[in-house]
Structure 1
């Protein structure tokens, strides 16, 4: 068979080394993606309420911070996950301040261990996660107790729903 220019050109093209995938730039992209995800992972803190608490819905703009948490279920009040007093006792109390909750909040402020606990104690902030069926009278007494023990910044936790606008 006769060798034409076209056949010679095609033969040279097939002899050339085939270009592979450049993995260096692909690894750079994945490294940047991993660093981005690691940095932004710690910026969002989701506070999971217990299953027996149904939070109200609201449009929330501010992100939650690490604070002292008070869980208010239909039966009891828990401070940092530890049962302190029952709802019946809160409703039966004569004064606006609830002594067992005040004592627990004071004990939390006094027992500082580590940097995170010190930050939470110095923030003077408390987050109340209350069931939507809890009477406002109970919440009012809880907020009064918090302010009397020095926790002046009180946040009520809600479920975030889509912004209406």
Structure 2
């Protein structure tokens, strides 16, 4: 039996049509972009810089540290954001209650950020984190705190190593 013209045309039409293929190139591009996005966004973990010559005290606090200006006190010097601003021997010999190099650097760092005022019109204090060895002398710590207060860094936090809560195995 002979096929009609319409049946032959439909047969030819279906023969020309191939099964659709999956375009892997664009799919790979999308996944590559997704992987890079996830890598960049997951690296936004706030962590204090590690110093080999600073033994931080331990704490059971669970709050993560905020991104602030970091003052590191090593065995021989004081660093602000990794830049040396004072030598400890000179600071301890000086009778002044303030540390000149630290004060100058704190004022420079404050000039780089905008001024925030409280609702009553006063200038809001800035935040700073002090990373100091657990055995630094109290006199030195007192000078650092006085210098921070003088430079309007009133929100002061101390860095510490987090101690696991009791009952956890480490």
Q: Deviations over 1:8-50 (max 9, x none)?
A: xxxxxxxxxxxxxxxxxxxxxx9xxx788876653x3111231
Please state which structure has a larger fraction of its residues in helix. 1
**Secondary structure at the residue paired with 2:107?**
helix
Q: Give the equivalent residue in structure 2 for 1:60.
A: 61
Partner Cα distance (2:147, 2:90) in 1: 14
8 A Cα contact 1:49 1:129, kept in partner: no
Instruction: State the 1:147 CA deviation.
Output: 0.6
**Secondary structure at the residue paired with 1:109?**
helix
Q: Give the equivalent residue in structure 1 for 2:163.
A: 161
Instruction: State the 1:87 CA deviation.
Output: 0.8
Partner Cα distance (1:141, 1:49) in 2: 24
Q: Give the equivalent residue in structure 2 for 1:148.
A: 150
TM-score, normalized by length of structure 1? 0.67
**Secondary structure at the residue paired with 1:108?**
helix
Q: Give the equivalent residue in structure 1 for 2:83.
A: 82
Q: Give the equivalent residue in structure 2 for 1:109.
A: 110
Aligned residues: 128
Q: Give the equivalent residue in structure 1 for 2:130.
A: 128
Instruction: State the 1:103 CA deviation.
Output: 0.6
Let me know the Cα RMSD of the aligned residues. 2.7
Mind listing any 5+ residue stretches in structure 2 that lack a counterpart? 1-30, 116-123
Instruction: State the 1:61 CA deviation.
Output: 2.3
Q: Deviations over 1:39-95 (max 9, x none)?
A: 6653x3111231111111111122101111111001000111111111111211212
8 A Cα contact 1:67 1:125, kept in partner: yes
Displacement over 2 Å in runs of 4+: 34-42
Instruction: State the 1:163 CA deviation.
Output: 1.9
Q: How has the CA–CA distance of structure 1 residues 81 and 41 changed in structure 2, closer, same or farther, with 3 Å as cutoff?
A: closer
8 A Cα contact 1:74 1:133, kept in partner: no
Mind listing any 5+ residue stretches in structure 1 that lack a counterpart? 1-29
